[in-house]
Amino acid sequence: MQFWLMKSEPEDVSIDDLAAAPGQTVPWTGVRNYQARNFMRDAMRIGDLAFFYHSGCAEPGIAGICEVCSEPYPDATQFVAVDPYFDPKSSPDKPRWWLRDVRFVGKSRYIPLAELRAHPELAGMRLLARGNRLSITPVTPEEWTFITQLMERQ
């Protein structure tokens, strides 16, 4: 099993939206970075776990955990001309953008970015790297264990 961090803007899809979705499952649409796409398409596996991270909000942070629950398939938003994630260079016969479905595992105590930065144990975490803007990043087993222990603190 591998571990990931997946960013979503809460006004698009929040951890509460995922929990309320039919089957508690949503497609992870809108990834338009090749490295993040490659993580989803090529590296993720069904059963991998991910931190659900709220980004683009007043206080970004980890809001819960989700599980990868599908094989990769083309992101339909790339073909819809009125969609913000439309890609005119992509076509159904040659899609550029892929996604996977994720399933709700649990909501956690909210762990803000500032709190993550305060722990030297996480100094090497990709999320915290200067200039990192990837919406999907790998998480080491050590980082996963440390953060899940943080989630249990009140």
What does the pLDDT read at residue 99?
Answer: 97
- Binning pLDDT at 50, 70 and 90, where does residue 131 land? confident
CATH of 3-152, one of 3.40.50.2300, 3.10.590.10, 3.40.47.10, 3.40.50.620: 3.10.590.10
Contacts of 103 (CB under 8 A, 6+ apart): 23, 24, 25, 66, 67, 69
What does the pLDDT read at residue 118?
Answer: 96
- The amino acid at residue 22 is P
With 90 as the cut, is the pLDDT of residue 42 above it? yes
- Binning pLDDT at 50, 70 and 90, where does residue 9 land? very high
Report CA-CA distances (Å) from 152 to 31, 41, 145, 146. Answer: 30, 31, 11, 10
What does the pLDDT read at residue 133?
Answer: 85
Every domain of the chain and the residues it spans: 3-152
User: What span, in angstroms and rounded, lies between the C-alpha atoms of 30 and 85?
Assistant: 6
Mean pLDDT of 13-27: 97
Report CA-CA distances (Å) from 87 to 90, 93, 96. Answer: 6, 14, 8
- Binning pLDDT at 50, 70 and 90, where does residue 154 land? low
- Binning pLDDT at 50, 70 and 90, where does residue 132 land? confident
Average pLDDT over the chain, rounded to whole? Answer: 96
* % of the chain residues with pLDDT over 90: 95
Phi, then psi, of 133 in degrees rounded to 5: -130, 10
What does the pLDDT read at residue 117?
Answer: 96
**For residue range 48-102, what is the model confidence (pLDDT) as tens digits?**
999 999 999 999 999 999 999 999 999 999 999 999 999 999 999 999 999 999 9
